[in-house]
Amino acid sequence: MSQDNLIRGNDIAAKIRQKIHANIRAVQERIPRFKPSLSIIQVGERPDSSTYVRMKKKAAEEAKIECNIIKLDESVSQLELLELIRSINIDPSVHGLLVQLPLPAHVDDVVVTESIAPEKDVDGFSTIHIGELAKRGGSPMFIPCTPKGIMTLLAEAGVNPAGKLAVVIGRSDIVGSPVSYLLKNADATVIMCHSRTENLPDIVKTADIVVAAIGKPYFVKGAWIKPGATVIDVGTNYIPAANKKSGQRLVGDVEFDEAVKVAAKITPVPGGVGPMTVAMLLENVFESAKRFLEKESQRSITPLKLKIEAPVPSDFEISRAQTPKNIVDIAREAGLAESELEPYGSYKAKVSLSVLDRLATRKNGKYVLVAGITPTPLGEGKSTTTVGLVQALAAHLDKIAFACVRQPSMGPTFGIKGGAAGGGYSQVIPMDEFNLHLTGDIHAITAATNLLAAAIDTRIFHEGTQKDDALYRRLVPAKKGVRKFSPVMLRRLEKLGINKTDPNELTPEEITKFARLDIDIESITWRRVLDVNDRSLRGITIGQAPTERGFTRETGFDISVASECMAVLALSNSLPDMRERLGKMVVASSKAGVPITADDIGCGGALTALMKDAIKPNLMQTLEGTPVFVHAGPFANISIGASSVLADKIALKLAGTEPEENPTEKAGYVVTEAGFDFTMGGERFFNIKCRSSGLIPDAVVIVATVRALKLHGGGPDVKPGSSLPQEYTTENVELLRKGCANLAKHIANVREYGRPVVVAINKMTTDTDAEIAVIREEAIKAGASDAVPSNHWAEGGAGAVELAKSVVKVCEESRPEDFHLLYDLDIPLVDKLRTIAQKMYGAADVELSELAQKKVDLYTQQGFGSLPVCVAKTQYSLSHDPALKGVPTGFTVPIRDVRASVGAGYLYALAADIMTIPGLPTHPGFMDIEVTDDGEINGMF
CA gap 333, 626 in Å, rounded: 9
Average pLDDT, the chain: 94
Whether 793 and 384 have beta carbons less than 8 Å apart is answered as yes
How far, in Å, are 220, 469, 668, 689 from residue 361 at the CA level? 55, 55, 16, 23
pLDDT in tens, 776-826: 999 999 999 999 999 999 999 999 999 999 999 999 999 999 999 999 999
8 Å CB contact between 254 and 231: yes
For residue 547, the one-letter residue type is T
pLDDT tens digits, one per residue of 33-91: 899 999 999 999 888 788 889 999 999 999 999 999 999 999 999 999 999 999 999 99
| For range 757-764, the mean pLDDT | 97
Distance CA 361, CA 376 (A): 44
Instruction: Please state, in angstroms and rounded to a whole number, the distance separating the CA atoms of residues 679 and 839.
Output: 9
Is 84 strand, coil or helix?
Answer: helix
**Beta strands in 200-344, from DSSP E residues, in sequence order:** 209-212, 230-233, 237-240, 248-251, 265-266, 341-343
As annotated, the active-site residues are: 56, 100, 123
CB atoms within 10 A of CB 131: 11
Q: Is 441 helix (H, G, I), strand (E, B) or coil?
A: helix
Please list the alpha-helical segments (H only) found in 659-731: 663-666, 683-684, 691-693, 706-712
Instruction: Tell me the mean pLDDT in the region 168-190.
Output: 94
**Domain with residues 315-439+613-818, CATH architecture:** 3-Layer(aba) Sandwich (3.40)
CA within 13 Å, CB half, 539 = 2
* Alpha helix segments (H runs only) across 175-267: 176-185, 200-205, 256-262
SS3 at position 439: coil
- Which CATH number is correct for 442-611, 3.30.1220.10, 3.20.20.140, 1.10.10.10, 3.30.1510.10? 3.30.1510.10
Q: Which residues contact 52 (CB under 8 A, 6 or more apart)?
A: 100
8-state DSSP, 324: P
Rounding to the nearest 10 degrees, give the CA dihedral for residues 198, 200, 201, 202.
70
Return the amino acid letter for 836.
Answer: I
Instruction: State the Cα–Cα distance between residues 45 and 104, nearest whole angstrom.
Output: 11
Distance separating alpha carbons of residues 374 and 746, to the nearest angstrom: 8
Say which residues have a Cβ less than 8 Å from residue 919's Cβ, sequence separation at least 6: 415, 533, 534, 535
Contact, 429 vs 406, CB < 8 A?
Answer: no
| Residue 366 pLDDT class (50, 70, 90 cuts) | very high
Comparing CA positions, the residue from 89, 87, 105 lying closest to residue 97 is 89
pLDDT at residue 676 tops 50: yes
Name which of 70, 92, 67, 83 is nearest 115 in CA terms.
83
Which stretches of 134-289 are assigned E, i.e. beta strand? 165-169, 189-193, 209-212, 230-233, 237-240, 248-251, 265-266
Q: Would 315-439+613-818 and 829-910 be classified into the same CATH topology?
A: no
The DSSP bridge pattern shows strands 586-589 and 595-597 to be antiparallel
Q: What CATH topology corresponds to 829-910?
A: Formyltetrahydrofolate synthetase; domain 3 (3.10.410)
Given this model, what pLDDT does residue 941 score?
62
Q: What is the pLDDT of residue 420?
A: 67
Q: Is 487 exposed, middle or buried (0-12, 13-18, 19+ CB in 10 A)?
A: exposed
Tens digit of each residue's pLDDT (9 = 90 or more) over 479-530: 888 999 999 999 999 999 999 999 999 999 999 999 999 999 999 999 999 9
- Asked whether residue 145 carries a pLDDT value surpassing 60, the answer given is yes
Nearest CA among 820, 818, 787 for reference residue 802: 787
CA angle 795, 798, 803 (to 5 degrees): 110
pLDDT of 748 strictly over 60:
yes
Pair 875, 867: CB distance under 8 Å: no
| Residue ranges in 322-399 assigned as alpha helix (H) | 327-334, 354-358, 382-391
CA angle 588–690–421, rounded 5-degree value: 90
Kindly give, in sequence order, each residue whose CB lies less than 8 Å from that of residue 509, ignoring residues fewer than 6 positions away.
none
Residue 31 pLDDT more than 90?
no
Q: Which residues pair with 869 in a beta bridge?
A: 907
DSSP strand pairing (401-405 vs 669-673): parallel
Q: At a CB cut-off of 8 Å and minimum separation 6, what does 792 contact?
A: 384, 385, 387, 388, 389, 391, 392, 424, 425, 426, 762, 799, 800, 803
How many helices (DSSP H) and strands (DSSP E) are in the chain?
35, 37
Confidence of residue 1 (pLDDT cuts 50, 70, 90): very low
- Percent of the chain past pLDDT 70, that is, above it, reads 99
Selection from 414, 449, 470 nearest residue 939 by Cα: 414
E strand or H helix at 630: strand 627-630
R_g over Cα of the chain: 35
Q: In this predicted model, what pLDDT tens digit does every residue of 587-616 receive, in sequence order?
A: 999 999 999 999 999 999 999 999 999 999
DSSP assignment, residue 466? S
d(CA 423, CA 435): 13
Q: pLDDT tens for residues 395-426?
A: 999 999 999 999 988 877 777 655 567 899 99
Query: What values do phi and psi take at 894, rounded to 5?
Result: -80, 125
Greatest distance between any 2 Cα atoms in the chain? 110
pLDDT of residue 419: 59
Q: Which residues pair with 189 in a beta bridge?
A: 165
- Consecutive H or E run containing 802: helix 801-813
CB-based contacts of 243, cutoff 8 Å, min separation 6:
none
The yes-or-no verdict on residue 296 having pLDDT over 90 is: no
Query: Left if phi > 0, otherwise alpha if psi is -120 to 50, otherwise beta: which for 335?
Result: left
Closest CA to 209 of 196, 220, 198: 220
Residues in the chain: 941
Residue-range domain boundaries for the chain: 315-439+613-818, 442-611, 829-910
pLDDT higher than 90, residue 851:
yes
DSSP per-residue string spanning 565-595: HHHHHHH-SSHHHHHHHHHH-EEEEBTTS-E
What does the alpha-carbon distance between residue 487 and residue 411 come to, in Å, rounded to a whole number? 37
What is the residue type of 451? L
Tell me what the mean pLDDT of segment 246-260 comes to: 91
- Host H or E run for residue 10: helix 9-30
Distance CA 123, CA 890 (A): 77
Question: Any alpha helices (H) in 237-272, and if so which ranges?
Answer: 256-262
